[in-house]
Structure 1
Amino acid sequence: MFVNGKEEKIIEKIHEIIGLNKEVIQKKFYDNIKKFRDYKIKKILLISSSYDYFKLDEEGKLNPLLSEWTSFVGEENPLSIVHLETGEECIERLKKEDFDLIIIFNKPTDTSIVELSKSVRNITNAPIALLSSDPSELSRIFKYNKEIISKAFTWNGDRNIIISIVHYFEDFINIQRASPTDFKRVILLIEDSIQHYSTCLSLLNEEIYKYLKAILNEKLSYEQKAIRFKRRPFVLHTDDFDEAIEFFEKYNKDLIFIITDNYIEKEYGRREIGKEIVKRAKEKNPNLPILIQSSEPVSREELKSEKIKFIKKNAPNLKVVLKKFIRKNLGQTEIKIKDSKGKDLRIKGIDEFEKVLKSLEDDIVFRYAKQNTFSEWLKSICEIELSSKCLSIENQAENPKSLKNQLINLLEDYNYSVNKSLISIFSRRYEEPSIKLYRIGEGALGGKARGLAFIAKLISEYGLDNIFPNLKITIPRSLVISTDIFDAFMENNNLYDLDFYNLPDHRIAAKFMKAELPATIIGDLRAFIKKTKKPLIVRSSGLLEDSLMQPFAGIYESVIFPNESWEEDVRFQEICNSIKYVYASTFFEKARTYIKNIPKNISDEKMAIIIQEAVGLKHENYFYPTISGVAKSYNYYPFPSCKPEDGIVYMALGLGKYIVEGGRSYAFCPEKPKISLYGTSKDYLKYSQVKYYALNLKPVYRFTNFDEEVALELLDIDVAKKQGILDKIASTYIPEDDKIYPGIYDNGYTVIDFAPIIKYEAIPLVKAIRLLLKISEIALRNPVEIEFAVNIPKEENNKAELFLLQIRSMMPLEKRIDIDIDKIPKEKTIVNGEISLGNGVVRGIKDIIYVDQNTFDLLNSTQVVNQIKNMNKKLMEENKPYILIGPGRWGSADPYLGIPVIWSDIAGVRVIVETPYKERHIDPSQGSHFFHDMMASNTLYLITKRIEDVNWEWLREQRVVEDTEFIKHVETQKALKTIVDGKISKGIIIIDE
């Protein structure tokens, strides 16, 4: 099976990072996503008279018939038919348009069937099928024109023949494309009478349709239905003796039954195909069911076998016998067994199978298993891999109790592997622990939910969930309420009539709180809240939000609550109010402003909701994950010895809100995690995390205030220390040694540096993050950002869990730099940054603070700090962002290398420029704590190599607002534009014209 370039790269990356054998990875990939039965006929050109077409369509019944088959798996492009009446129209249409199949129904009015077929064949290689109500004429035409006409069928007054024609060609082509190792179930029809094989094909399709309806029940997800649908039986027909023998020999292990004529006409006489097939079946497949239909008597002694049936073609009950034979041998769609009390039990699905197994006595399960009852049923409902494993247990297990336990374990593993990456329709039972994603509604999932589904699929397809022995990779269990529920909520409560632009946020929220959720979801929400008592977070998932190319993080609200009350009604009310509040945030001022600026329209947004089990562990009255983090595959502020494409990871103790708000998180490069990105040991201590967010589990219910912080508490890290959480993620700074040691010690200061994990690999978290970043970037063909959380249990024997919360592109369309910096004329450039950090465009700035190169000396660098600090304070009070220009390392601890400001001294800056000091180039200030603050604020950073890279003359011409001995604050007449292209690490400042 062919693997495309993208999958090959992902497999290569898994091999490179983990060392897993490529063949093993490739097998997982094949097992999960290989293409099978992918040839489909979608467009048919039908040539017939108006009356013949009327017979087929009969007041619009044809199109619904065609869509019946595709409705099993919800295909968006069902079969379509273009009807034309003349051969001339047909030829003209074929010259302009491609078709997958041409059907000629009886003779056209302006030409013969043969002449039209020849003309069609000169234009296209698509199959040509003849359909006629005159069997004798049809046989004569087809017999002498088989090199032009692909197949002939008779019209028996049943429009289902169109489906039979389509499936005949699809099956014939798809089975040739299939690999010999692919699982196939094949029905072989051997018949040379066009009348009889047309009838048989229609009956076969009719029974297969009923069989599919039984095994593709509504409980299955789309993916499960698609797999079973693709694995439906192939129907192969031949009217040739030699081809019949060839098909039998080639597919004898795949055959489920054969329907055959007893004699087939050949050029050199009649051949007894029925007898020959029976003879070969006895040798190679003695249990193969065979039905022989013939116009003449058949010697029953020669064909004696329980598996061989015979029927005369002219028998009045021919169709009844054919249907019964087909239905019986397609396979069981359910199991019928008796329990110890003689009660009949029916098993129609795998979920029922597991329940019944657990309830039955060991010896009853053993008896049925030894008859291969379970494996045969699983095979007949197209669960092939599961059937194979089940058969192995049935044949090998000797102890009834052991056999039953093995079967139950097999089903539990199956349910987990199948359901973990699927979005299943929510069932009020909500019992299957392996299903991670449920949905309510038929609308869109929204950006966040799509991202969650994408990453779950990636984990499943490449078997990443258990790829590490002591770290499980997964997603939180989530319920998605799709956008059609939002539409119904808005319309039912007339909320679109509100004047959102003239209402404050609290008034909008109050209006939404009074509104009623659609009645269609109330029962599902009650069932959901009844089944879970874990803390919940209600998140937005807008169509625009966090889509792979739109950065909407933090624009809408989310609500987190303990969900611990014993009163189910209270918890139900809490979740309903949370949903309504998140809906309301679609129209809050922050969202309206953002959407207007991107530019989009508020009416473009539709809101889905994700109700998610919060990630964390319970510690006394608090709930929080051991680690929260954000990982980026591309770092616009690369550290020394790291490249931009090496990425960056930020981690913190507790809930991720701490990182989002710019708290003191720990940063490292996933490609070189052991390289320190900080300064001295004291720097680690000074800038280490000291607070963290946790969910307070004490029941607090406030329906009027739905700020996320209502249930959150900012704790001192000593709380986590007392709870024994820090042993696995922290180190201790010992002042006497001026060193940091991994672990917690009493005679020092705690440093949250995750050294046990990052440096000493207590769990393979760094390797897992690196792998996920690389393969996600390959899959999306874009740099990615992943939000995650980690639970590290206190018990040594339990696996740590890495939960992936969200994935999005780092390169939204509006932040892509489409200006060629190198082509901008030098005379228009104010600053030319040969090395630049960050990515994006900053516009509208008119204020510049710059260090006067004529008066400044590094001996005075400490003096300059307070002067800059005072100017920064004034500009921040006036809400004026500014550009800062000066020599050497900004934020350097060494005053002889640059100006030793700390970030709070220049917090209002949007663009920083480093210049050489008196023709002497000093290495850029990357790697310090100052640098981390700059990254967190997305400040653009330009580094010049030569004095002339800054237009000093132009700067001196600008209006001076304030100056000191060493620095000047100037205001430009026209606004400036700063452009930094993160992909080439270059930047410029120009006048914004």
Structure 2
Amino acid sequence: MMQYPHLVDEMRGIFIAALEKKGIAGEEEIERKVVEFLGEQSGHESPEDRKILKEALVDLLFAVHFTTDEIEAHINLARKRDRFRELHRVVNEERIQPGRVIRALRDFCNIPQGDLYISPSEAEGVRVALIDRFISNQLPFIGIAKQHLTIRDIDEMLDHVYLNRRRPGKIGGKAAGMLLAAKIILPRLQDREPDLEEYVRLPESYYFSSGIFSDFIDYNGLHYFRSQKYKTRESIEAEYRNIAELFRKASFPPDSVNDFRAFLERLGEHPIILRSSSLLEDNFGHSFSGKYDSIFLANQGSLETRLEEFMWGLKRVHMSTFGPAPILYRRDHSLLDFDEQMGVLVQKVIGRRFGDYFFPFAAGVAFSRNPFAWTPRIRKEDGLLRIVMGLGTRAVDRVGGDYPRMVPLGNPLLRPQIEARQIMKYSQKMIDVLNLSTNSVETAASMELLHKIDHPDLFYAVSVDEDGFVSAPLFKGMKIDLRRSCITFENFLTKTPIVPLMKKILRKLEQAYGNPVDVEFAWDENRLYLLQCRSLPVRETAGVVLPRDVPADRILFRNNLCLFNAVIPDIEYVVYVDPRAYGRIREYEEKTAVGRVVSRMNRALQDRRFVLFGPGRWGSNDINLGVRVGYQDINRCLALAEIAFEEQGLTPEVSCGTHFFNDLLETGIIPVAIYPDDRENAFNERFLLDAPNLLVSLAPDLGQYTAVVHVLHVPSNTGGRLLHILQNEREQKGMGYFAHAGEDAVGT
């Protein structure tokens, strides 16, 4: 106590409050005891004598009634209040250097935490100031984070933060969301649920602040890039093609390079991923899904080699800030004037090494609300998992000819497929892995890879086709014939705690956010790793009633797979990519050109009400299974219809959880799946093919594509009627029909 003479009076005030709270003696009782002790001499002693006697009595009572640990905790409370006052002063100074704030924070946190705290009302202002200074200035995020992030949480985070000396910056939205999710699930000051504490982890993470990006721009005189966002779309696209060479030649300041070198020495040779974490990313209502780059690095070899690869990885993430997709996304969401800056979240890749390959057992995306309830037995509020074996890239990207496992958490073994042939067909065929020798993400055939590496968790991943019945292995030592196997995750879902864990995690996060959420995760060696958390865009549309008795000649399509309730009235134009004509194209370049034609129509019709119809999977990375487009190529359409003819083997994928799907949700674009060969579906292909094609009138230089891309003006071919699209999620029925604006389907 005497070690802190300037705090002695404050400590005794704390002692008296504790004695009174325990019912031993309050201020008045202690004063009375002092008077009794002085007896007849009372009134003749000096004030100093009375003070000394009172202090001695307080100390005696406290020593008698409290343990040594309790006494130390109360002394530390006085110390914490002292350091807190300094922290409060420093963190609210406008132009103070971050180093001084960090020192004041460290001084406070160096005092043992104990179980006596600064009052929440006092601490809230400091928490908000620290969050705003180092993490995020987005008010919706701060409103939630201040309830869950403690001052000590922020201090621990700063041990892993790399700040720029000249431009401090923040860690950005993606890093902030991950950190907040972890503290909601595993809080510091509340009781933790034992199962969550046992299984849930964060990957080893480091935060490279947005100031590093800003300083890089300053150091290389690249200020003019800050005006890229105001240029025309054509200029943005043209100039972005040259930015890689410019960034490759640019350099980081020497002190930043030294920081990077020290970081890699500290980290060692473990694979890492450099993830974008811009200031706006993963915020409420605008997630920027897939708009910025994330870079996997093998991080192997000499320090200087690793340093060069690391710096080029940082540059690649930074330069994606100026790409067409994020700029147009910001323009569409009225975010263009915000000074977007890029932080980078660097994480050790979760997984194990198998020869040259590195990957986790499983990864995916989890939703607190299930957007794909294909049967009434599924409750949307139970949530959904979209899960793959290997790196999670196959779960968040639209991949061709492959399928993740979709798991309704309320009934995890329920699946759309029943027959063995269907289960085998709609299972994951390929696994994404990080090749440590080539320093690249590669895709391997799943069964070939599993045969080669002898994965110890094979029991949890696969099922075997035995005489037309697909079943999971009965026990771990059971011999598995991979030639007749497919990835189903049956044992993973039933013999590990993944399902109850995810249900609990999603429930806690949705409750804290006050909004549905999605979570990216990985699972390896019996641990669940949180990689990302963000607010989930959700479409809430009242029930939709489909019109009856619509004349056949006024129906464009009927479908029986509807993800949402939706009403899209008064559609004037249809852009139709003929699946059969597209399938006949053999040259890769010709197929990519079709995507560019669609992009041109997206611009030409941007002020009109139009929809896109095309083959298989829009946005797929396999150009043979769908037109390759990005957000910037389809962002003006009202609906995106995917047409699957059996003869071509094209299949619309339920893309819930992919970046592409999130784009559709946030932009209000309705996905529509049409199976023309299904008896419950209908599709008037002749109408789309026979109507006059306006492609050349909109773009005279695209005449060579008129056999593949058809653009038609609906009213000109329907007696003035417009196209209306309705989707009924509950009944799993939808239709597109022609009617005059404002009248029902059978009106004249």
Interval containing the TM-score (normalised by the shorter chain): 0.5 to 0.7
- Shift of residue 250, structure 1, vs aligned partner: 4.8
TM-aligned CA distance change 1:717 to 1:518, over 3 Å:
farther
Alpha-carbon distance in 1 for matches of 2:57, 2:7: 7
TM-aligned CA distance change 1:911 to 1:771, over 3 Å:
same
- Shift of residue 982, structure 1, vs aligned partner: 6.6
Matched, 1:721 2:451: yes
Q: Secondary structure at the match of 1:689?
A: coil
Aligned counterparts, 1:365-384, within 5 A: 376-378=71-73, 380-382=75-77
Asked if the contact 2:463–2:485 (Cα under 8 Å) also holds between the matched residues in 1, the reply is yes
TM-aligned CA distance change 1:648 to 1:749, over 3 Å:
same
TM-aligned CA distance change 1:982 to 1:520, over 3 Å:
farther
Aligned counterparts, 1:387-536, within 5 A: 422-424=153-155, 438=161, 440=163, 443-461=169-187, 466-467=194-195, 472-498=199-225, 500=228, 501=235, 504-505=239-240, 507-517=242-252, 524-533=259-268, 534-536=270-272
Q: Deviations over 1:350-407 (max 9, x none)?
A: xxxxxxxxxxxxxxxxxxxxx986775455324898579xxxxxxxxxxxxxxxxxxx
Asked if the contact 2:546–2:726 (Cα under 8 Å) also holds between the matched residues in 1, the reply is no
Alpha-carbon distance in 2 for matches of 1:823, 1:322: 87
TM-aligned CA distance change 1:611 to 1:868, over 3 Å:
closer
Asked if the contact 2:34–2:53 (Cα under 8 Å) also holds between the matched residues in 1, the reply is no
TM-aligned CA distance change 1:763 to 1:831, over 3 Å:
same
Question: What is the TM-score of this pair, normalised by structure 2?
Answer: 0.62
TM-aligned CA distance change 1:770 to 1:486, over 3 Å:
same
- Shift of residue 559, structure 1, vs aligned partner: 1.4
TM-aligned CA distance change 1:783 to 1:205, over 3 Å:
farther
Q: Deviations over 1:676-729 (max 9, x none)?
A: 3223112222333232121122375xxxxxxxxx35454654223332325233
Q: Deviations over 1:823-864 (max 9, x none)?
A: 99999x977989762347987851469xxxxxxxxxxxxxxx
Aligned residue number for residue 676 of structure 1: 415
Which structure: larger Rg?
Answer: 1
TM-aligned CA distance change 1:329 to 1:687, over 3 Å:
farther
TM-aligned CA distance change 1:327 to 1:677, over 3 Å:
farther
- Shift of residue 753, structure 1, vs aligned partner: 0.6
Asked if the contact 2:15–2:74 (Cα under 8 Å) also holds between the matched residues in 1, the reply is no
Alpha-carbon distance in 2 for matches of 1:387, 1:960: 77
TM-aligned CA distance change 1:497 to 1:788, over 3 Å:
same
Aligned residue number for residue 563 of structure 2: 838
> 1:722 corresponds to which letter in structure 2?
K
Q: Deviations over 1:554-581 (max 9, x none)?
A: 111111112233x334333433332232
Relative contact order, higher structure (CA 8 A, sep 6+): 2
Asked if the contact 2:464–2:481 (Cα under 8 Å) also holds between the matched residues in 1, the reply is no
Aligned counterparts, 1:169-318, within 5 A: 207=7, 233=14, 250-252=21-23, 272=32, 274-276=34-36, 297=41, 312-313=46-47
Match of 1:553 among 279, 289, 304: 289
TM-aligned CA distance change 1:248 to 1:844, over 3 Å:
same
Q: Secondary structure at the match of 1:667?
A: strand
Q: Secondary structure at the match of 1:695?
A: strand
Q: Which piece of structure 1 moves more, 770-779 or 447-456?
A: 770-779
Aligned residue number for residue 508 of structure 2: 775
Match of 1:614 among 335, 342, 349: 349
Q: Deviations over 1:62-119 (max 9, x none)?
A: xxxxxxxxxxxxxxxxxxxxxxxxxxxxxxxxxxxxxxxxxxxxxxxxxxxxxxxxxx
TM-aligned CA distance change 1:818 to 1:803, over 3 Å:
same
Alpha-carbon distance in 1 for matches of 2:438, 2:625: 42
Q: Secondary structure at the match of 2:199?
A: strand
Alpha-carbon distance in 2 for matches of 1:563, 1:951: 52
Asked if the contact 1:831–1:951 (Cα under 8 Å) also holds between the matched residues in 2, the reply is yes
Alpha-carbon distance in 1 for matches of 2:523, 2:562: 30
Aligned residue number for residue 959 of structure 1: 691
Task: Figure out how many residues of one structure are paired with residues of the other and give that number.
Answer: 573
- Shift of residue 233, structure 1, vs aligned partner: 3.4
Aligned residue number for residue 698 of structure 1: 437
Q: Deviations over 1:531-571 (max 9, x none)?
A: 22221111111122221321311111111112233x33433
TM-aligned CA distance change 1:486 to 1:871, over 3 Å:
closer
Alpha-carbon distance in 2 for matches of 1:961, 1:656: 41
Alpha-carbon distance in 2 for matches of 1:331, 1:569: 60
TM-aligned CA distance change 1:378 to 1:690, over 3 Å:
same
Asked if the contact 1:631–1:647 (Cα under 8 Å) also holds between the matched residues in 2, the reply is yes
> 1:972 corresponds to which letter in structure 2?
H
> 1:423 corresponds to which letter in structure 2?
I
Aligned residue number for residue 801 of structure 1: 527
- Shift of residue 910, structure 1, vs aligned partner: 2.9
> 2:486 corresponds to which letter in structure 1?
V
Aligned residue number for residue 869 of structure 1: 580
TM-aligned CA distance change 1:521 to 1:934, over 3 Å:
closer
Q: Secondary structure at the match of 2:242?
A: helix
Asked if the contact 1:647–1:669 (Cα under 8 Å) also holds between the matched residues in 2, the reply is yes
Q: Secondary structure at the match of 1:671?
A: coil
Asked if the contact 2:432–2:443 (Cα under 8 Å) also holds between the matched residues in 1, the reply is yes
Aligned residue number for residue 971 of structure 1: 712
Asked if the contact 2:162–2:208 (Cα under 8 Å) also holds between the matched residues in 1, the reply is yes
Asked if the contact 2:365–2:386 (Cα under 8 Å) also holds between the matched residues in 1, the reply is yes
Over the aligned positions, Cα root-mean-square deviation in angstroms equals 5.6
Alpha-carbon distance in 2 for matches of 1:638, 1:929: 22
Q: Percent identity among equivalent residues?
A: 21
> 1:313 corresponds to which letter in structure 2?
P
Q: Secondary structure at the match of 2:515?
A: coil
Q: Deviations over 1:102-140 (max 9, x none)?
A: xxxxxxxxxxxxxxxxxxxxxxxxxxxxxxxxxxxxxxx
Q: Deviations over 1:196-215 (max 9, x none)?
A: xxxxxxxx997379989xxx
TM-aligned CA distance change 1:378 to 1:588, over 3 Å:
same
Alpha-carbon distance in 2 for matches of 1:987, 1:907: 23
Alpha-carbon distance in 1 for matches of 2:286, 2:362: 26
Match of 1:649 among 368, 385, 399: 385
Q: Deviations over 1:262-306 (max 9, x none)?
A: 6xxxxxxxxx55245x7xxxxxxxxxxxxx9x9x9459xxxxxxx
Question: What is the TM-score of this pair, normalised by structure 1?
Answer: 0.48
Q: Secondary structure at the match of 2:331?
A: helix
Alpha-carbon distance in 1 for matches of 2:626, 2:287: 27
Q: Deviations over 1:588-618 (max 9, x none)?
A: 2332233223342165322121111111112
Asked if the contact 1:687–1:929 (Cα under 8 Å) also holds between the matched residues in 2, the reply is no
Matched, 1:811 2:537: yes
- Structure 2 unaligned spans of 5+: 78-110, 117-147, 229-234, 599-610, 618-622, 629-638, 662-670, 695-708, 716-721, 742-748
> 2:34 corresponds to which letter in structure 1?
G
TM-aligned CA distance change 1:766 to 1:323, over 3 Å:
same
